[in-house]
Structures are given as structure tokens and as C-alpha cells.
Amino acid sequence: MIAEFGHFALILILALGTCQAVLFCPALFRASYRALGPTTAPTTAMTPAIAGGTLPDGLTGNTRTSENVGFGVWPLPFAMCVLAIIAEAALIHSFIVSDFTLPVVADYSHSSTPMIYRIGASVISDSGAMLFWVATSTLATLIYALQSIARGVTEQDRVALGILGIIVALLAAVTIIDADPFIRSGIAPLDGNGLDPELQDLAGMARGPILYAGLAGLSVIFAVTFAALPGAKLDRAWSEQLRPWTMVSWTLLGGAIAINAYRAYTEQAWGNWWYWDTSENALLLPWLLTTAFLHCRAVLEKTETLKPWTALLALSAFAAGWFGTFLVRSDLLGPLPTALLSSGDAVALLVAFCILFGGAYFMFWRCATDMIDDKDFSLVSRESGMFLNSVMLSVAAATVLIGTIYPLFLRWLGGDIITVGPPFFVQALIPIGLPLLFLMGFAPTLRWRKDETWQIGRRMKLAAMMSLIVILFVWMRFIDASPLPLLGIGLAAWVFTAALGDLWERLWRQPDHGEGKYRNLQLLGPRYLSMTFAHIGIAILIAGGSASAIWEQQISLSARTGQSIQIGPYNLQYEGVALLPGENFATRKATFIIYRNAQPVAELFPEVRYYPIRGIETKEADIWHGRDGDLHVSVGERAEDGGRVVTVRFLPMMPWVWGGMLLMLIGGAISICTRIILRYKKNGVPAS
């Protein structure tokens, strides 16, 4: 019965989302008429209100209206959010009590599945993930409505809320049509199929909710941008309004990417951290475009330039997230040829994508010329640097998209069924990534509007010298190394030194910033600090990944109990395998003792797990993060000589990859948290 409450709540969300769209349709229609209608102004005879000297409500664009005029903006978003919580709670309850009359519970759970994984399974399935996307979208709509009330509701806010109502209604309809989580089967099985062993991972379960929360933030950016297109109202106020939403979305999407990368690194004894499959590319596409939008939004806020390009990126970031979700859910693409032979049930998601973004891009096409202004900037300026940065990020996103959907087009054309793997993406993205890293080094040091070339050279000479020294040092130590990782390490040093050098310049070489360096740090603002942390994080990530590619060592052998394995600066002693019971699996757990300089430093316990419910065996590697790098150890079956197959990988500087990702997320968190604190404390420190 509780599932029926959830199903009814989902239907009500669809109805209320439609009502919200219809309620604000007058504002939406007026905005569309101004953008798409005739350019000739109406005569006084046709518009008596204007003839009388009074403009009708809504024709002034951003005129603020009080909440007692018309219908309030918060009741419908609040009701939808409450209903979404009810629906989500009903689905989680069905998993907790193992209600196998629901096919989604029978397919993703079992009576022996641990409770924490039952709860996590409620957002792993396609239907559960869509329901969670609906819930986060309703929450984002409510937050935006409350923000609108706090600053005074404008006509543009009403248009944005109408568009958000359309988005919520479309997502609810897609969930009901394509993947209704509350539909019941006629005959319930005695027990479920159990959770896929590859999904029985807490980090993997957290990735989905974080991703859909980020997409919900992008939906607000999309709606506010769509609402601002008529009348070309993409001004500094619009940019400031979207700043917190941009940082939250960028940070959440980056967190989902970091979780996915670390999970790929630890699961199944793979040992790599990015495979360029469909699910990973679906995460990368919106993040790349959001990063590009983040830079252009800052330019627009500062100089009110690049309006058409910024609006296009705002629309495209959400479009990329939606389309990536369709690719993952449709099963049209996958890492195996067999996945290409099947088609999923995401037709409604594709139809909704075409309706929503077809209208958005048509509106952009009609309004783009109105956004062009006469403000310009020099070729050598921060605006130019950030614009080129966003263009290269967009080209990278387009390259990833083409490589992802190319097998689908080849299949439609009747060609061979193929998969596009890491070699294509690496070779295609290197010509884009290397100039992007080079530009990332000096772009933040450029001056607004116009800069001098000789001053740029003076500011960047330390970074140039350090990058050359690092390249020469690594090349002399490893003369046979591939040139690309060497260049990656050099560019990482370039970005790292440039970011620290610019920070030093602003803190210690600007006496007008104040006498105290702490006060100087305050005056820099959270936006600059978050940018610096993000750039340093990217530099550390690139350095760690490049160094691991150069110095990686791997050993595969048949080991016997008591045998020692020497790799890098470490010695591993194999202590044998023990057969142990798990929560819902049986495991063969191996024990390795790590020695460094004849002293024990840690123990590792890689496993081979067998899940009897699904009859699947998995390898669970164990990793030790040392100061010199990572030891990645996995075990397999018995070899022909009676030993145990052991694979050991030593990846120097691999912790730098994870540290770099963490610094990037810290940069985003600094901007978000600082603005929240300043919002309520009002301590006078600037927020930008």
C-alpha cells in the first residue's frame, strides 16, 4: 500500500509541475512574444493600457512584484518537494521490507542483501535514479523560489519557475512512462535476484545521487538563462544570480567524477582510473561544459561581454547532462559489443530532450543577435584568455561526445559494431589538452580589457623556468621515457608555479591591500581562492597521472606461501589465502605484509569473492597509499604449478591524482561555504 502512495505522489508531481508551467505561462508567453513576435511596436489604439501611460504587468521585464500580487511562487514548488520526499521514502521502504511485488526491488535486492545496500539500491536502478532526479529537481525549484522571494520576485523569476515546472513535469512523465518504480507484477517471486556485485559499493552508490543533484543545479541555470533570453537580459545581475548555482553544480559533478574514478581504480583489480566508457563520458560532458560556463560567467559578471557564448554554454551544459543520462539508460552504447545489439526503454527521455532543448535552442537562435553589444576587449586580455579556455573545453566535450556516439552512428549506417576505447580519446584530446594547460597557466594573471605582452613575460618568467627545469630533470633521469608524459609533467609545473606566483604577487607585492597578510587574503575573495585551489589541483592531478605513466611497474606471477615479491622500494611477503564468509558472499582473502627497508609498514588483504545469489565471482584489489606511490595488489585463481596468481602494480605519485581531485573539490567548497557565511554574517569581506 505504501508503494501506491509513492506512485500517487509521483502522479501528483506531474500534475503540479504542469500546473506550475501553466500558471506562469502568461509570463512565459509574454517573454516569448517579445522575442519571437513582430518587431514593430504596437500602436496606442491597439494597447489602451500603454496609451494611458501604464505598462501591463510583465512587459517591463525585470519589474519587481510583491508576493500579494497574483499567485505566490512558493506553494507549488513546496508541494512538489514534499510529494517527491514521500515518493522517495515509499521506494526506500519497499527495498527495506523486500517488497518483491515491485519488479525493481526483485531485480536489485534480495532478502540476504545487507540493509545499507538495500537502501542504496533504491537509487541505482534506472527507475530509482529517475525518481531521485525528480526529487532533486523539485528541491532545486523550491530553493530557487525561496531565493526569488528573498530578493523580490521579478517577471524573469516567474518565467524561470514556469520553465522549471516544465522540467519537473517532463522528468516525472519520463519516470512514469519509461521506468515506473512503483509498478507491481502479477506474480511476486519468492526472493529477489540480488544486487549486482559490481554495484555493491558505498562509493558507487553515492555517485548517482551526487550526479543528479548536480544536474538539478544545471536545470536552474538552464531555466534562468532561458528566461533571460527574451529582451537579452543577460547582465551582471543575471550572472551574480547564477554564481552559487554554478559553483554548486560544478563541485557536485566534479565529486561524481572523482568517486567514479576512484571506484574504477579500486574495483575489479583493474588498476586504472578512467576507461572512457559511456557512463564515464556521461559524467565528463556536463562537467566540461559547466567549467567553460563558469569561466565565461565570470567574464560577463566583470565586463558584461561574451553574452551569446555564455548563454549557449548555460543551455548546453544541462543538455549534455540530459543526453548523457539518455545514453547510459538506453543501453544503445556500452563497453561490450553485445550491449550495442540491444536498445533500452528510454524513448520518453529522448522525446522530452528533443522538446525541451529544441525550444531552448530555437529561442537562443532568435535572441542571439540582440545580445551582441559594442563592448570589446584586446586580444591580449583576461577576457580573451578565458574565452579561449572555454572554447577549448567545449571542443574537448564535443570530441568526447563524438567518440561516444560514433559506434551508434556506425551501427545505423549498417557498418561494423565497434567500441571506441581509450586510445582514440587520448590521441584526440592531447592536441586540445596541452594548449589548454598552457593557457591555464597565464590566463588568471592577465589584466582585464587590455594587457601588455612584456608584462605577461615578466610575470610568467618564473613559471617558464620552473617548467623547463622540471622537464629537463625528469628527462635526464628517464631518458627513454615517452615525451608526452614529460610534457604533461612540465605543463603541470607551469600551471602550479603560475598559480602560486600570482598568489604571492597579490599577497606580498600589493601594499595597498593592507598591512596584514591575513587581511590581504580576505580581500582576495573566495572566488580567487577557489580558482587558485582548482588550478593547483589540476596541476597536481596531471603531474601524478603523467608520473605514474612513466614510472609504473607491474609484476604478475604464481606465488606460494612465504614467497617475497620485490617491486619499487617495497617488498611484499605472501602469507597465503583464507576462506572466509562475508555478508552475502564467500571470500578467499589473501594476506600480504609490506616491508620497506626490512621494516613492516602495512598489510594488504585482496580478495576473490563469490556471490551465490547471482553466481558471479569478482576480484577485489587492495591498495596501500604510501608516500612513494600506490601498491595495487590483486589475486586470482590457482596456477598450474599450484601457486596463486598474484598481480602487483606500483604506481609512483598516484596519490597525487586523488590529492589533485580533492583540491579541486575543496576549491569549489571554499567558494560555496564562504558565500553562505558572508550571506548571514555580513562581515564586510567581499564575496568575489
Q: Residue 441, Cβ neighbours under 10 Å: how many?
A: 25
For residue 683, is pLDDT > 50?
Answer: no
Return the SS3 of 683.
coil
In whole angstroms, what is the distance from residue 670 CA to residue 688 CA? 12
Sign of CA dihedral 565, 569, 575, 581: negative
- The Cα–Cα gap between 269 and 113 comes to 23
H or E stretch at 679: helix 654-681
Cell numbers representing residue 490 in the block: 612540465
| pTM, two decimal places | 0.86
Confidence of residue 638 (pLDDT cuts 50, 70, 90): confident
Cα 519 vs. chain centroid, distance in angstroms?
33
Contact 639, 645 (CB under 8 A): yes
Strand partners, 632: 623, 649
> Which carries the bigger pLDDT value, residue 504 or residue 336?
504
At 292-334, the pLDDT tens digits run 999 999 888 888 888 889 999 999 999 999 999 998 887 655 4
CA separation for the pair 302, 304 (Å, rounded):
6
How far separated are the first and last CA of the chain, in Å rounded?
Answer: 51
User: pLDDT (tens digit, 9 = 90+) per residue, 116-157?
Assistant: 888 988 888 888 999 999 999 999 999 999 988 888 888 888
How large a percentage of the chain has pLDDT more than 90?
A: 26
CB 249 within 8 A of CB 137: no
β-sheet bridge partners, residue 600: 595
Average pLDDT over residues 283-298: 93
pLDDT band at 453 (very low <50, low <70, confident <90, very high): low
- Residue 26 and residue 83 in contact, taking contact as beta carbons nearer than 8 Å: no
Written as nine digits, the cell of 412 is 545505423
pLDDT of residue 219: 95
Long-range CB pairs of 316-319, under 8 A, 24+ apart, other chains included: 316/289, 316/394, 317/218, 317/221, 317/222, 317/249, 317/286, 317/289, 317/290, 317/292, 317/293, 318/215, 318/218, 318/219, 318/221, 318/222, 318/286, 319/222, 319/353, 319/357, 319/360
Reported as a pLDDT band with limits 50, 70 and 90, residue 43 is: very low
Neighbours of 506 (CB within 10 A): 17
Which of 281, 100, 136, 108 has its CA nearest to residue 216?
Answer: 136
Whether the CB-CB separation of 679 and 301 falls below 8 Å is answered with no
The sign one gets for the Cα dihedral 171, 175, 178, 179 is: positive
What share of the chain in percent tops pLDDT 70?
Answer: 81
Interatomic CA distance for residues 84 and 158, integer angstroms = 22
Q: What is the DSSP string of 234-258?
A: -SHHHHHHHHHHHHHHHHHHHHHHH
CA angle in degrees (0–180, nearest 5) for 503-507-513: 135
Question: pLDDT digit string (tens) for 245-261?
Answer: 999 999 999 999 999 88
What are the pLDDT digits (tens) for 398-432?
A: 999 988 888 777 776 766 666 677 778 888 888 89
At residue 686 the predicted structure's pLDDT band, cuts being 50, 70 and 90, is: very low
Q: Would you state the cell numbers that stand for residue 410, as one nine-digit string?
A: 556506425
Name which of 137, 136, 133, 105 is nearest 121 in CA terms.
105
Asked if 265 and 272 count as a contact pair (C-beta separation under 8 A), the reply is yes
Residues 24, 153 contacting (CB under 8 angstroms)? no
Q: Is there a contact between 407 and 420 (Cβ–Cβ < 8 Å)?
A: yes
Q: Is residue 278 within 8 Å of 401, Cβ to Cβ?
A: no
Per-residue confidence (pLDDT) for residue 480, from 0 to 100: 63
